[in-house]
Chains A and B, each alone.
Chain A
Amino acid sequence: MKAGSNLERLLRSGQFTITAEFVPPATGDRGLIERQARYFKGHVDAVNVADNMGAVVGTASWAVSRALLDLGLEPIMSLVTRDRNRIALQSDLLGASLLGIRNVFCTTGEHQKFGDHPEALNVYDIDSVQLVNAVRGLSGSGKLLGGAVCDKAGPFFVGAAANPFGDPADFMILRLGQKVRAGADFIQSQPVFDPEKFGHWVRLAREEGLIEKCFILATVMPLRSAREARAIHEKRRGVEISQDIMTRLEGVPEPEQAREGLRICAEQMQALKEMKGVQGVHIMSAGREEVIPELIKESGLETARARD
């Protein structure tokens, strides 16, 4: 055990793990965070707390992570490199350690052009690989990127993103290798709508010897409607929705499409559980946390997890 988080314990013990994403609204109201948290409590093993997701201002991920801890939930604090330089990021990591946060998830973050402050200046002082490396330095040897030694922080269980469907395709395993070598303990993928392509990526990762070095969680996303599916397919780069899924959604009347989307997602969760090399699923509900309990029930995975 490295960081001793519940997430780490579950993954190391070989249990299939479920995480879900929480996109904090912009609020100073603790009550609101608490109300939304009830959709996670008792249903998932850990909660990713987004860091200004989509470059839209939300409440600080460290603060929301602490609030979740108070509610008996296990947070995975996200950090994006878009908004803060290495000084601020490392400072936040030390603060997170102080607050008892043990899981962190490192990404670069969406460009501010897509958010609610498109005129903002971005930072991108370091990239996600370098951030993973910074977390490892800080929590392993207590070393800051600049070389100075600090009191050890964490230790943290470190996550990073991977895009199995990325372009150019053969670059993607190389990217995974970079993140693992930089110190990533677990990986959460881009949304999977094509299990076959995803399976291929996992096989390549195994051949490269990367599966033994990190835990892979496959991201799933319940679709609300055929229209939403088409919009995601067309607009969200890096996410492709297969024709099979599209046909299934279009095959039912519009009011029932959300239900069908949930069913498709639940089936995918079952299929991913059977996939060798996959240790869990990560639910991206795009702001619809209320569907999480039902989705997990539908998937039948509920009983597989250690519950409190």
Chain B
Amino acid sequence: MIIAERKPIKELLEMLVGHDHVLLVGCKGCVTVCNAGGVREVGVLASALRIARRRQGRPIGIDEMTLDRQCEPEFISWLEEPLREKGYTAVMSAACSVGPQYIAERFDRVAVMPALNTKFIGGTLEHGVWAEFCRACGNCGIHNFGGLCPITRCSKGLLHGPCAGSSGSKCEVRPEVDCIWHLIYQRMKNLGQIEKLKALKPAKDWSGYWSGGVRRVVREDLTL
């Protein structure tokens, strides 16, 4: 899923300067799972902002709403009515950054602010701890590496093995994480595939990655 975390209150308050009636919109997708933007977080954030603004002597009205998903235009359209009726000057979106962008595209007279920092594609390690597993390079090759991704999980994205800084099985760049090459090596050994690691890998084709402009996936069979 997409992992996000809430921006610091201070930064959000700066965004809200000049606004006194806003809608805070959460999302029931990924950001609910990673406890950053679901119904509960929207509630907590709204009260925190209200209290802070009252203390500043500039009270703010914040209404709360949480959509099933913000990465679908269909759900974004649910905002139409409240925006028309209530005269909000701004919407703050607590979703991954697809949400605020969709809102901005749909409503051209309302300021849109991101409440979250969208971090990465990841998974849960333990309660409250998430880690990155994939950079969405567009051309998955992890079967060559025992099912583990060196592109994302090696700090240098190396394809032939560990750098000289790897020691004690930890990464030199981030000592709190495993050097993925230790895990890959162990897996390949267990699988009897060490030969595969000896092979020279061609320079990676990054054309399906960030270098190629906006990426799209089209499923002809699903298009109308």
Where the two chains meet, the residues of A that have a C-beta atom closer than 8 Å to any C-beta of B are: 82, 86, 108, 110-111, 113, 122, 124-130, 133-134, 145, 161, 163, 166-168, 171, 174-175, 177-178, 181-182, 190, 237-238
Check A178–B167 contact: CB distance below 8 A.
no
CB distance from A123 to the nearest CB of B (A): 10
Closest residue of chain B to A110, judged by CB? B165
Q: B162 interface residue, CB < 8 Å from A?
A: yes
Q: B110 interface residue, CB < 8 Å from A?
A: no
13 chain-A/chain-B pairs, Cβ below 8 angstroms: A113-B173, A122-B156, A124-B156, A124-B158, A127-B159, A130-B202, A166-B167, A168-B186, A177-B198, A178-B160, A182-B200, A238-B165, A238-B166
Count of chain B residues with a beta carbon within 8 Å of a chain A beta carbon: 31
Check A190–B164 contact: CB distance below 8 A.
yes
CB distance from A185 to the nearest CB of B (A): 16
Question: Which residues of the partner chain B approach A167 to less than 8 Å between Cβ atoms?
Answer: 162, 166-169, 179, 182
Q: B129 interface residue, CB < 8 Å from A?
A: no
Question: 4 extra interchain contacts, Cβ-Cβ under 8 A, other than A127-B159, A130-B160, A238-B164?
Answer: A129-B200, A130-B202, A237-B165, A238-B165
CB distance from B163 to the nearest CB of A (A): 6
Check A111–B156 contact: CB distance below 8 A.
yes
Where the two chains meet, the residues of B that have a C-beta atom closer than 8 Å to any C-beta of A are: 155-169, 172-173, 179, 181-182, 185-186, 194, 197-198, 200-204, 206
Dominant secondary structure at the B interface:
loop
Closest residue of chain A to B161, judged by CB? A175
Q: How far is the CA of A130 from the CA of B200 in the complex (A)?
A: 8
Q: How far is the CA of A133 from the CA of B199 in the complex (A)?
A: 13
CB distance from B27 to the nearest CB of A (A): 29
Check B185–A168 contact: CB distance below 8 A.
yes
Check A168–B182 contact: CB distance below 8 A.
yes
CB-contact partner of B203 in A113, A145, A174, A238, under 8 A: A145
Check A171–B158 contact: CB distance below 8 A.
no
Q: How far is the CA of A168 from the CA of B179 in the complex (A)?
A: 10
Check A86–B203 contact: CB distance below 8 A.
yes
Question: Which residues of the partner chain A approach B166 to less than 8 Å between Cβ atoms?
Answer: 166-167, 237-238
CB-contact partner of B200 in A111, A133, A168, A238, under 8 A: A133
Known: A108-B163, A130-B201, A238-B165. A171 touches B156 (CB 8 A): no
Known: A168-B182, A178-B161. A127 touches B156 (CB 8 A): yes
Check A181–B173 contact: CB distance below 8 A.
no
Check B182–A174 contact: CB distance below 8 A.
no
Known: A108-B158, A111-B156, A167-B166. A125 touches B181 (CB 8 A): no
Check A166–B164 contact: CB distance below 8 A.
yes
Question: Which residues of the partner chain A approach B203 to less than 8 Å between Cβ atoms?
Answer: 86, 125-126, 130, 134, 145
CB distance from B212 to the nearest CB of A (A): 14
CB-contact partner of A181 in B162, B167, B200, under 8 A: B200
Q: How far is the CA of A127 from the CA of B155 in the complex (A)?
A: 12
Closest residue of chain A to B184, judged by CB? A171
Closest residue of chain B to A111, judged by CB? B173
CB-contact partner of B172 in A124, A174, A181, A237, under 8 A: A237
Known: A130-B201, A237-B166. A111 touches B206 (CB 8 A): no
Q: How far is the CA of A182 from the CA of B198 in the complex (A)?
A: 11
Check B197–A174 contact: CB distance below 8 A.
yes
CB distance from A179 to the nearest CB of B (A): 8
Question: Which residues of the partner chain B approach A122 to less than 8 Å between Cβ atoms?
Answer: 156
Closest residue of chain B to A235, judged by CB? B172
Closest residue of chain A to B179, judged by CB? A167
CB distance from B111 to the nearest CB of A (A): 28
Q: How far is the CA of A237 from the CA of B200 in the complex (A)?
A: 26
CB distance from A288 to the nearest CB of B (A): 21
Known: A108-B156, A124-B156, A129-B200. A163 touches B173 (CB 8 A): no
Question: Which residues of the partner chain B approach A82 to less than 8 Å between Cβ atoms?
Answer: 156
CB-contact partner of B160 in A86, A161, A175, A190, under 8 A: A175
Q: How far is the CA of A171 from the CA of B202 in the complex (A)?
A: 20
Closest residue of chain A to B169, judged by CB? A167
CB distance from B201 to the nearest CB of A (A): 7
Q: How far is the CA of A125 from the CA of B202 in the complex (A)?
A: 11
